[in-house]
C-alpha cells in the first residue's frame, strides 16, 4: 500500500538562501504592526474598555435604523448597534456609566429592556464590565503574554544554548507583533479570547521551533564538519514533512470552526489561523537562521557517540 506524502522525504529546499529576503519582509511586518498599534490602535472589546454588551434577537430581520432611533433617545452616550451573525441577531454596546458602579450599569440595562419592548424577541446575552475590572484584565493579559515568552526563553536557554534561546524569542516576538498588526488592520475585536489566541500561537510557534532546533542539535552532533548553513537547511528539510502535516491538519480544523463556529468564535479562529501560518513561517525563516547569524558552538554537544559519528560524517558531509 502506498502512503500519501504531502512532502517528499528527500527535499533539498535552500531555505537559508532566502534568509535576507525573509528578514527584510519580517522587519517590514514588525515596523508596520508597531505603527498601526500606535496610530490605528486595537478595537478593544468590552473586556478591556468596560461597558455593557447586549445581544438580542428580533422577530424577523432586524431593523437597525429603528433600533438606533430608540437607543438614541435614552441619552446613554455613544451606543453602537450592529448585526451579529444572522439577520435577526443584533449586538448593542453601551459605554459604562460615569458614576454609580454596578448598580448604575444594571439600571442602564433595565432602561434598555424597557425602551426596546416588543422590538426584541429574546435577550441572548447581557455582559457588564466595569472600568476597574477592565483595567485589571488589560494588566493581567499583558503579564500573561510577557511571562509566557520569558519562561519559554528560559526553557530554551537551559535545553539548548543561548543562541537557540535568542532565535526562539525573536521568532515569538515576530509572531506576536504580526498578529497584533493584522488585528489592528482589520479592526477585529480584541478581547480575552484574543489573549487566549496569542498565548496559543506562542505555544504552537515554540513547538515548531523546538522540533527544528532538536534536529539541528542532533545534526550538530552527527555532522561535525558540515557547514552550518548547509546543516540548518538539512535540519529544516528533514522536519518539513512533520511541520506541514501538523500545520495543515490544525488549519483544517480551524477553517471548519471559522466557517461553522458562528460570529462569537470568528475573531478567535481567524487570529489562530493567521498565527499558525506566521508561526510556521517564523520557525523556518526566522528562528533557525538566527542561530546562523550569531553562530553556535559544536563542542557543547560533544560526547563519545558524537566523536564516533564524526568519523562517519566526513563522507556524508
Going across the sheet that includes 86-94, the strands are 80-84, 86-94, 51-57, 122-129
Query: What pLDDT sits at residue 100?
Result: 63
| Grid cell for residue 192 | 480575552
Query: What pLDDT sits at residue 31?
Result: 93
Neighbouring-strand partners of residue 93: 53, 80
Query: What pLDDT sits at residue 315?
Result: 38
Stronger pLDDT, 298 or 25, i.e. the higher one: 25
Query: What's the chain's average pLDDT?
Result: 79
Query: What pLDDT sits at residue 204?
Result: 84
Query: What pLDDT sits at residue 301?
Result: 46
| Grid cell for residue 171 | 521568532
| pLDDT exceeds 70 at position 217 | yes
Stronger pLDDT, 217 or 269, i.e. the higher one: 269
| pLDDT exceeds 60 at position 242 | yes
Q: At what angle do helices 131-159 and 192-222 cross, to 10 degrees?
A: 10
Query: What pLDDT sits at residue 65?
Result: 84
| Grid cell for residue 222 | 552527527
Query: What pLDDT sits at residue 307?
Result: 40
Query: What pLDDT sits at residue 304?
Result: 36
Task: Summarize the confidence of residues 161-185 as an average pLDDT.
Answer: 87
Query: What pLDDT sits at residue 305?
Result: 38
Provide, rounded to the nearest whole percent, the portion of the chain with pLDDT above 90: 9
For the chain, which domains are there?
A: 15-43+134-316 (1.20.1640.10), 51-129 (3.30.70.3400)
| Grid cell for residue 204 | 504552537
| pLDDT exceeds 80 at position 259 | yes
pLDDT in tens, 178-215: 999 999 999 888 888 888 888 888 888 888 888 888 88
Query: What pLDDT sits at residue 8?
Result: 62
| pLDDT exceeds 90 at position 107 | no
| pLDDT exceeds 90 at position 274 | yes
d(CA 33, CA 177): 6
Query: What pLDDT sits at residue 164?
Result: 81
pLDDT band per the 50, 70, 90 thresholds, residue 303: very low
| pLDDT exceeds 90 at position 114 | no
pLDDT in tens, 16-66: 888 889 889 999 999 999 999 899 888 887 777 777 888 888 887 888 888
Q: What is the 3-state secondary structure (H, E, C) of the chain?
A: CCCCCCCCCCCCCCHHHHHHHHHHHHHHHHHHHHHHHHHCCCEECHHHHCEEEEEEECCCCCCHHHHHHHHHCCCCCCCEEEEECEEEEEEEEECCCCCCHHHHHHHHHHHHHHHHHHHCCEEEEEEEECHHHHHHHHHHHHHHHHHHHHHHHHHHHHHCCHHHHHHHHHHHHHHHHHHHHHHHHHCCEECHHHHHHHHHHHHHHHHHHHHHHHHHHHHHHHCCCCCHHHHHHHHHHHHHHHHHHHHHHHHHHHHHHHHHCCHHHHHHHHHHHHHHHHHHHHHHHHHHHHHHHHCCCCCCCCCHHHHHHHHHHHHHC
| pLDDT exceeds 90 at position 110 | no
Query: What pLDDT sits at residue 131?
Result: 61
pLDDT in tens, 133-161: 666 777 887 888 888 888 877 877 777 77
Contact criterion met (CB below 8 Å) for 112 and 54: yes
Query: What pLDDT sits at residue 60?
Result: 79
Query: What pLDDT sits at residue 316?
Result: 40
Amino acid at each position: 500500500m502506498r502512503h500519501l506524502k504531502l512532502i517528499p522525504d528527500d527535499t533539498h529546499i535552500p531555505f537559508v538562501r532566502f534568509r535576507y529576503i525573509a528578514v527584510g519582509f519580517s522587519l517590514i511586518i514588525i515596523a508596520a504592526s508597531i505603527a498601526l498599534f500606535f496610530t490605528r490602535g486595537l478595537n478593544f472589546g468590552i473586556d478591556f474598555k468596560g461597558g455593557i454588551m447586549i445581544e438580542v434577537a428580533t422577530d424577523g430581520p432586524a431593523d437597525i435604523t429603528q433600533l438606533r432611533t430608540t437607543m438614541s433617545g435614552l441619552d446613554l452616550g455613544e451606543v453602537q448597534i450592529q448585526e451579529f451573525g444572522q439577520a435577526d441577531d443584533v449586538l448593542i454596546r453601551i459605554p459604562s456609566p460615569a458614576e454609580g458602579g454596578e448598580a448604575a450599569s444594571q439600571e442602564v440595562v433595565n432602561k434598555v429592556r424597557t425602551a426596546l419592548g416588543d422590538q426584541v424577541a429574546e435577550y441572548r446575552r447581557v455582559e457588564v464590565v466595569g472600568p476597574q475590572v477592565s483595567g485589571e484584565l488589560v494588566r493581567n493579559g499583558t503579564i500573561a503574554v510577557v511571562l509566557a515568552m520569558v519562561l519559554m526563553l528560559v526553557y530554551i536557554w537551559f535545553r539548548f544554548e543561548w543562541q537557540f534561546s535568542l532565535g526562539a524569542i525573536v521568532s515569538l516576538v515576530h509572531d506576536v507583533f504580526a498578529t497584533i498588526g493584522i488585528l489592528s488592520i482589520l479592526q477585529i475585536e480584541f478581547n480575552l479570547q484574543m489573549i487566549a489566541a496569542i498565548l496559543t500561537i506562542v505555544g504552537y510557534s515554540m513547538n515548531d521551533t523546538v522540533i527544528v532546533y532538536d534536529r539541528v542539535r542532533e545534526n550538530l552532533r552527527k555532522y561535525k564538519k558540515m557547514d552550518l548553513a548547509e546543516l540548518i537547511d538539512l535540519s529544516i528539510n528533514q522536519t518539513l514533512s512533520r511541520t506541514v502535516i501538523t500545520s495543515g491538519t490544525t488549519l483544517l480544523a480551524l477553517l471548519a470552526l471559522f466557517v461553522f463556529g458562528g460570529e462569537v468564535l470568528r475573531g478567535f479562529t481567524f487570529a489562530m489561523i493567521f498565527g499558525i501560518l506566521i508561526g510556521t513561517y517564523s520557525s523556518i525563516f526566522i528562528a533557525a537562521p538566527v542561530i546562523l547569524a550569531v553562530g553556535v558552538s559544536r563542542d557543547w554537544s560533544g560526547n563519545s557517540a558524537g566523536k564516533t559519528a564524526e568519523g562517519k560524517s566526513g563522507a556524508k558531509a
